[in-house]
Amino acid sequence: MPPVLLLLHRQVAPHYGNKAPLSKSLLLVPSGLSILLTLLFQHYQKFFVYNLQAVKEDFQIWRLVCGRTVCLDLKDTFCSSLLIYSFRIFERRYGSRKFSSFLLGSWMLSALFDLLLVEVVQYVFGITISSLPSGFLGPLFALFVPFYCSIPRVQVTQILGHLSITNKTLVYILGLQLLTSGSYIWIVALSGLISGICYNSSVLKVHRVICIPSWVAKVFSWTLEPIFSTAEPSSEIRVGMGATVDIQRQQTMELLDRQIMLSQFAQMRRQRQQQGGMINWNRLFRPLRQRRNANYQDILQSEQDAPPPTEVSEEQVARLMEMGFSRGDALEALRASNNDLNLATNFLLQH
């Protein structure tokens, strides 16, 4: 599939709005606190240590909140910030309330699984783990579950002819980097993945039990959204002021390339619509001249012998409609591709 066309189409799709206040707040507030604790207020770091021994023996439950919010390692802060920036797509797709409900549910479940896994490690291997890496790590690893399941995999390029680089490779590399940053961070990662699977499971129905009430979502939308939301982009994209002349020149060239590609993409869309829509219907149906010359009995016999239409997944139809395609085009493309989402997307973009 042409990656440039898919990226351009995602830029103009309606669900890719610019408002993601929760993701922006999670990107700025914990990162700012982590930098302040590392550079200026190092004597307060002891209050943000994820000490499980203090939780179990001294009943310091508040450490489950403080120790699982702010990273005390700047490398973990950097990787976490990049992952939050990448996962903001879920807030834009599902809304802030559903996204915050997932984060809350996975945050609570991962805290429970942290305690259970530490006890299992101590019982099986005899290793006593007093503390785990601090930070908002459990929900981040939990977000890899919907990222793997719901985000389509699009090949961007290949290395050495066999190794595929996709639009999801960088996110997985960041997760691997975060996974190897500490000795016991694998426990946090495993508990996060388990909590993400449990929250997304249609059998356990955890998402119906742990969710943000509507009135709480309204209160935070009134308070956080004016602060952290981003204004809608104007029709003309402004060129950022780079620190050097080379950066300004590079930004100008990127802007020109983007405008050229957008204009070419819009022209291709108009040409396809003038030819009869996003789908080349002649590839799916026989031309009308052949139908007129065909015998009625042959047509009736072919219709009787034709296999029943393929059942189309409504979830895949919804994904294609989120990309900006109409429902009719999405249905025909999925039927023609036998419910293959990647082939259907490729067909819609190329025809």
Domain chopping of the chain, boundaries = 18-152+164-229, 313-350
- Give the residue ranges of the chain where pLDDT is below 50: 1-17, 235-243, 277-296, 299, 303, 306
pLDDT value at position 238? 44
pLDDT value at position 251? 55
CATH of 18-152+164-229, one of 3.10.530, 3.10.310, 3.10.620, 1.20.1540: 1.20.1540
d(CA 350, CA 238): 30
pLDDT value at position 256? 53
pLDDT value at position 112? 93
pLDDT value at position 240? 44
pLDDT value at position 50? 92
pTM here is: 0.62
3-state secondary structure labels for all residues of 325-344: CCHHHHHHHHHHCCCCHHHH
CB-based contact 79:181 (threshold 8 Å): yes
Assess if CATH 2.30.42.10 describes domain 313-350: no
pLDDT value at position 247? 52
Residue with tokens 């508990």: 191
pLDDT value at position 172? 94
State the DSSP H helix or E strand holding residue 131, giving kind and residue range, or none if neither. Answer: strand 131-132
d(CA 213, CA 215): 6
Q: What is the pLDDT of residues 191-248, one digit of tens each?
A: 999 999 999 887 778 888 888 888 888 888 888 777 776 655 554 444 444 445 555 5
Mean pLDDT of the chain: 76
3-state secondary structure labels for all residues of 142-202: HCHHHHHHHCCCCEEEEECCCEEEECCHHHHHHHHHHHCCCCCHHHHHHHHHHHHHHHHCC
